[in-house]
Amino acid sequence: MLVTGASRGIGAAIARAAGAAGYRVGVNYLRSAAAAEAVVADIRAAGGEAVPLQADVGDPAQVERLFAELDSRLGRIDVLVNNAGILASFRVDALDHAQVAAVFRANVFSIFHCAGEAVRRMSTAHGGAGGVIVNLSSVAARLGGLAGGAAYAASKGAIDTFTLALAKEVGREGIRVAALRPGLIETEIHDVHGGLERMRTMAREAVPMGRSGTAEEVAQAALWLASAAASYVHGAVIDVAGGR
């Protein structure tokens, strides 16, 4: 299983859970080498197998290198989790073009680059053995995101739509595709707009369950989607959001 953006937060939790479930795990990261090494060390300490793989998944040449490294170090890819993503906060009337581009590059173009490489390996039409692709969307796709989050929310809407389109494209080629829409989850991504305490306060008010979620709770949903237990779940976009 390749998990993009697995040095921290939800990606790290998915990588750890995957290692514990017996997957050989590619732990991709952008800059946090020490954190990625720590995730790999945790997986190995628990008896699993993992390798750290540095690459900016927004860059097609780096994604090509990432998959070549994955091929040589871990062998066949069965599951791709497109998790890497960034948040930006600005009003549209104070538009920052560079930030809009950065959000779409990291959140959307990355998924095209990684899914392209994965489908070329997994698809039975290319001689592959099939597989599963899980995309990390967000409830922002249907709620419009928090104040200043238009670029982020729109990028997640694109992920939902991409999930439906890819499901049609590869469903007969042994590949299942699905997306998760997490709600307010406790990770460093919230540093962009006030940090964890502000997010927890928001969660107490806005989430029907009255609390934020953990990265591990999202990881369990991702592992289920990847597993044979979800064998007829395809083109689905599933909320993991405490009812929000």
* Binding stretches for ligand NDP (CB under 6 A): 4-11, 28-32, 35, 56-58, 83-86, 106, 136, 138, 182, 184-185, 187-189
Nearer to ligand NDP by Cβ, of 2 and 230: the residue is 2
Q: Which two tokens stand for residue 193?
A: 């707009």
Nearer to ligand NDP by Cβ, of 6 and 237: the residue is 6
**Three-state SS for 239?**
strand
Tell me how far apart the alpha carbons of residues 200 and 192 are, in angstroms, rounded to a whole number: 14
Would you please indicate which residues are annotated as catalytic (active-site) residues? Answer: 152
E strand or H helix that includes residue 158: helix 150-170
How near is the Cβ of 197 to ligand NDP at its closest, in Å? 14
Nearer to ligand NDP by Cβ, of 121 and 181: the residue is 181
Q: Which of 229, 223, 202, 224 is nearest to 213 (CA)?
A: 202
Cβ neighbors of 90 (< 8 A, separation 6 or more) are: 96, 99, 148, 151
Nearer to ligand NDP by Cβ, of 9 and 242: the residue is 9
Is residue 207 within 8 Å of residue 184, measured between CB atoms? yes
DSSP one-letter string for 99-150: HHHHHHIIIIIHHHHHHHHHHHHH-GGGT---EEEEEE--THHHH--STT-H
How near is the Cβ of 174 to ligand NDP at its closest, in Å? 26
Nearer to ligand NDP by Cβ, of 86 and 225: the residue is 86
How near is the Cβ of 22 to ligand NDP at its closest, in Å? 23
How near is the Cβ of 147 to ligand NDP at its closest, in Å? 15
How near is the Cβ of 30 to ligand NDP at its closest, in Å? 4
Tell me how far apart the alpha carbons of residues 130 and 13 are, in angstroms, rounded to a whole number: 24
Q: Which two tokens stand for residue 224?
A: 């289920």
